[in-house]
């Protein structure tokens, strides 16, 4: 039976309990000691132009390469029609901001050009689209231009014809032309054809669908509505590494984000190359549009400014006047009076007379790491840079809260290594599900005497599946519980990144995935949504008794590789009594792999075939021959006892890393492996994978020679193991007990509801006696995010495979407790009306 159907009926809790559930837990809410107020701006979002998040994503423009700046040699994404000749030109530009335009030679009526959009244009029947462009002809021209919405198969989906009266050599704007689609196509194109021969130049060719809240030059509706559903309290923008830019011999410093180039009419925006993420940006979704979207979402803006540092470049720290003034001008644009300030007046001219109310400004992005004596990690003299910004900002805008950078990698204990004043510190964490789980209590012991904390970027980026699975999301939910419980200190947090166009995944995972016509949220998105929408206003202490879950281990062994060809021979597995449990000399040349004794794991994910290992046996050697394979597992079918020792010889062949010995395995989602020569052949590490989420148990520096045979030994004693390489002990570890349930609670003082959040990241169903600490008023409900497996994901084909379900809880008025069955792999939010 479908569990979502059961939940939707509001049946009594006993119907959900599993006969294999562990002993009942007790969750106790301590209403007699209410804590601090929950931060009113705790959950927000972080937007960065990455993965075509803006251009080709949130920014609704349908035409790709609309200003012909994406390539200096040819008009990419544009194709001539009917024998027209199309080429780029740099002569007679529209203005000094535009470097290239499209020259068209039309020899007969009906010729023209076509744009393919961002991997297609989504046309919907009976929807009106708005076209604009600049055009000129070499000589005076009187004729017409037909604008056609074209299907992927060439069908005419809707068109309009515009009469042209062009004076030779003069630019004319075609503006606000409405075109209605008479049919739908999610992969459409835009075609422009001319009725008479001529020589034309086109620039800034634009096509917009209806936008979020009807904003001109605005946002794609479905993507903005996914953001709206998060009810963010703030929006951090524009990045990220995108703020810093990355130098190239051609672009030098001009690929960083410069907000003054991103405001005003789109034809006045030059755009720039994002070297960091590998594509040209129109800057159509610019500073003003970001502020406008933030306002439309009911959120506060948080602007990140450049401190004169980037990837591969720096401005001397004693020559920062331009950068400091840029930050001050940004504040004036956002907040300045529309009649008495230069930038405030320009904001009003651009359509927003009232101030935006920018009160949060971050000085730099990930610029306080380790190498303050150089720019090896974009940190050169960060604190000397920071204090110049801080003083200038506080002198003119004392109400602005200034956010400083701390270490963004290489440590789990970042700190403000300066005596300079700072209001808020920005911490970043990209880790495994188990890291987030283990850091549930991270902020309990932080000092309350220093600056406040902002978790500006966090996400599971190790062991997350393909697009991001439920186990990853539950790890993040556990961490968020800790943020809520400590939100007197941790006043803001934002997952990162938000968006990925499925045609340009430069970073994974991301919480919203989309193409030209569809979009969906991953389980991480669902966690962000229901956590933020059920936050409460006051912290209430919670304790959980009998909350320890012993680790479990599987009974199979095997092999894997990561980006490397490898070979194995002379396998023996010996029992603790000296008996031979498994032996394979791989002597049969025609022995198939996989075979009756071995099976491979891997397969399709979100409609794409994972890169498979290619196992073969030859001359007594087991070979993995696909250098591209990453983590595909070959497991022996033999079930091993609780104690055994693996002996095998192994060597790395071609590729970047070493080889992997798998043990304690149940399947490819529940195993332990010894990764030798991992991380670019720089480390040996034990990695434990549970329910698809991977955690590094121990790591040391280590390197493997190519082509050399190594003697590998793994001694397994239950949940303890010792790993030896050429007889030398490299790792000795014991899997720790796991907390079986994570809980926190808040009180919504407006609705008088107690909000209890319960996360079960394990495969064991549980039953909890929840002592409310209050008398129930007779009304309660649950919001549950759960699925059958921790590795379950959402995809374009199954967009709501992992999605929350809400149902009523039957509870008597006056009762002070309830028994709640907790599903495996679940986040449950209980909202109980109390007296």
Which residues are CB-neighbours of 450 under 8 A, at least 6 positions away?
416
Q: Where are the beta strands (DSSP E) in 461-611?
A: 490-495, 499-501, 512-514, 519-521, 538-540, 542-545, 548-549, 556-562, 564-575, 580-584, 598-601, 604-605, 608-609
Q: How far is it, in rounded angstroms, from Cα 381 to Cα 252?
A: 21
Cα–Cα distance measured from residue 658 to residue 824, given in angstroms and rounded to the nearest whole number: 35
Report CA-CA distances (Å) from 718 to 641, 675, 715, 722. 9, 20, 10, 11
Strands 424-431 and 401-405: parallel
Distances (CA, A) of 297 to 46, 228, 290: 13, 6, 11
Based on the residue annotation, tell me whether 362 is a catalytic residue of this protein.
Answer: no
Q: Say which DSSP state 262 is in.
A: G
Whether omega before 443 lies within 30 degrees of 0, making that bond cis, reads no
**E strand spans, 47-184:** 78-81, 85-89, 101-106, 112-115, 121-123, 128-137, 141-150, 156-166, 172-180
The rounded distance, in Å, linking the Cα atoms of 426 and 457 is: 8
CA 5 and chain centroid, separation: 30
Contacts 24+ apart (CB under 8 A), 165-168: 165/141, 166/135, 166/136, 166/137, 166/140, 166/141, 166/142, 167/140, 168/137, 168/138, 168/139, 168/140, 168/141
**Local structure of 126: helix, strand or coil:** coil
Neighbours of 337 (CB within 10 A): 14
Q: Which two tokens stand for residue 181?
A: 């689609």
- CA 154/CA 237 separation, integer angstroms: 39
Identified catalytic residue from 366, 427, 457, 753: 366
- DSSP string spanning 378-418? S-TTHHHHHHHHHHHHHHH-TTSEEEEE---SS-SS----S
Six-digit token pair at 568? 């194995």
Helices 321-335, 342-349: axis angle to 10 degrees equals 50
Rounded-to-integer distance, Cα 499 and Cα 223, Å: 9
* Beta strand 121-123 pairing with 185-194: antiparallel
658 and 564 Cβ atoms separated by less than 8 Å: yes
Residues in the chain: 835
Dist. CA 59–CA 70, nearest whole Å = 17
d(CA 622, CA 637): 16
Query: Taking phi first (over 0 means left), then psi (-120 to 50 degrees means alpha), and beta for anything else, what does residue 522 get?
Result: beta
Beta strands across the sheet bearing 766-771: 542-545, 25-29, 766-771, 817-822
Instruction: Give the Cα separation of 277 and 286 in Å (integer).
Output: 17
> Which residues are the active-site residues?
366
């Amino acid at each position: 039976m479908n569990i979502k159907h059961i939940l939707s009926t509001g049946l009594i809790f006993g119907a959900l309990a599993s006969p294999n559930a562990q002993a009942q837990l007790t969750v106790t809410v301590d209403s007699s000691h209410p804590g601090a107020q929950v931060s009113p701006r705790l959950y927000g979002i972080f937007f960065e132009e990455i993965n075509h998040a803006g251009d080709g994503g949130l920014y609704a423009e349908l035409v790709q390469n609309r200003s012909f700046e994406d390539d200096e040699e040819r008009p990419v994404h544009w194709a001539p029609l009917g024998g027209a000749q199309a080429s780029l030109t740099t002569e007679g530009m529209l203005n000094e901001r535009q470097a290239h335009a499209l020259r068209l030679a039309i020899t007969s009526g009906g010729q023209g050009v076509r744009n393919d959009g961002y991997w297609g244009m989504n046309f919907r029947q009976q929807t009106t689209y708005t076209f604009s462009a600049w055009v000129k002809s070499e000589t005076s021209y009187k004729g017409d231009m037909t604008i056609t919405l074209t299907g992927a198969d060439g069908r005419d989906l809707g068109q309009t014809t515009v009469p042209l009266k062009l004076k030779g050599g003069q630019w004319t704007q075609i503006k606000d032309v409405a075109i209605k689609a008479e049919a739908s196509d999610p992969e459409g194109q835009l075609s422009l054809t001319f009725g008479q021969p001529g020589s034309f130049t086109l620039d800034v060719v634009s096509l917009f669908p209806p936008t979020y809240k009807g904003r001109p030059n605005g946002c794609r509706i479905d993507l903005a509505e996914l953001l709206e559903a998060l009810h963010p309290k703030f929006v951090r923008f524009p990045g990220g590494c995108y703020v810093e830019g990355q130098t190239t011999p051609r672009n030098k410093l001009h690929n960083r984000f410069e907000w003054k180039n991103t405001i005003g009419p789109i034809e006045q925006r030059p755009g720039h190359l994002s070297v960091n993420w590998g594509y040209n940006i129109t800057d159509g979704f610019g500073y003003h549009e970001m502020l406008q979207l933030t306002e439309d979402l009911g959120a506060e803006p948080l602007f990140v400014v450049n401190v004169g540092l980037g990837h591969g470049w720096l401005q001397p720290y004693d020559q920062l006047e331009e950068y400091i003034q840029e930050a001050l001008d940004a504040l004036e644009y956002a907040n300045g009076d529309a009649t008495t300030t230069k930038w405030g007046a320009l904001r009003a001219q651009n359509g927003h007379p009232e101030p935006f109310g920018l009160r949060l400004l971050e000085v730099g992005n990930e610029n306080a790491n380790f190498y303050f004596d150089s720019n090896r990690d974009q940190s050169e003299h960060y604190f000397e840079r920071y204090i110049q910004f801080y003083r200038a900002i506080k002198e003119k805008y004392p109400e602005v809260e200034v956010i400083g950078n701390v270490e963004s990698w290489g440590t789990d204990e970042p700190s403000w290594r300066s005596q300079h004043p700072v209001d808020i510190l920005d911490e970043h964490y990209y880790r495994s599900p188990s890291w987030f789980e283990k850091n549930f209590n991270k902020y309990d012991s932080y000092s309350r005497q220093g600056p406040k904390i902002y978790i500006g970027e966090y996400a599971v980026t190790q062991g997350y599946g393909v697009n991001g699975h439920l186990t990853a999301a539950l790890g993040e939910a556990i961490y968020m519980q800790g943020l809520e419980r400590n939100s007197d200190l941790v006043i803001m947090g934002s997952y990162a990144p938000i968006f990925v166009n499925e045609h340009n995944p430069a970073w994974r995972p991301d919480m919203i995935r989309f193409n030209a016509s569809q979009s969906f949220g991953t389980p991480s998105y669902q966690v962000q949504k229901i956590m933020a929408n059920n936050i409460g206003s006051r912290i209430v202490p919670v304790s959980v008794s009998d909350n320890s879950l012993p680790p479990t281990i599987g009974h199979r062994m095997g092999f894997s590789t990561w980006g490397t060809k490898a070979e194995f021979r002379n396998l023996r597995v010996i029992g603790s009594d000296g008996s031979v449990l498994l032996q394979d000399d791989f002597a049969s040349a025609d022995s198939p792999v996989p075979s009756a004794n071995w099976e491979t794991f891997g397969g399709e994910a979100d409609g794409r075939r994972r890169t498979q290992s290619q196992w073969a046996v030859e001359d007594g050697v087991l070979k993995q021959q696909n250098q591209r394979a990453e983590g595909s597992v070959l497991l022996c079918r033999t079930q091993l006892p609780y104690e055994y020792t693996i002996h095998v010889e192994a060597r790395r062949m071609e590729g970047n890393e070493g080889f992997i010995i798998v043990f304690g395995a149940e399947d490819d989602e529940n195993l332990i492996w010894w990764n030798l020569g991992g991380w670019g052949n720089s480390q040996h590490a034990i990695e434990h994978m549970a329910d698809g989420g991977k955690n590094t148990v121990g790591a040391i520096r280590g390197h493997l020679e190519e082509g050399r045979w190594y003697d590998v030994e793994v001694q397994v004693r239950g949940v303890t193991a010792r790993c030896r390489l050429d007889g030398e002990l490299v790792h000795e570890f014991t899997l720790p007990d796991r907390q079986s349930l994570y809980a926190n609670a808040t009180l919504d003082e407006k609705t008088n509801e107690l909000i209890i959040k319960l996360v079960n990241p394990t495969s064991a169903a549980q039953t909890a006696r929840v002592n409310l600490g209050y008398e129930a008023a007779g009304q309660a409900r649950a919001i549950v995010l759960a699925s059958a497996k921790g590795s379950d994901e959402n995809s374009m084909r199954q967009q709501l495979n992992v999605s929350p379900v809400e149902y009523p809880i039957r509870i008597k008025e006056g009762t002070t407790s309830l028994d709640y069955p907790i599903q495996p792999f679940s986040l449950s939010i209980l909202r109980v009306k109390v007296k």
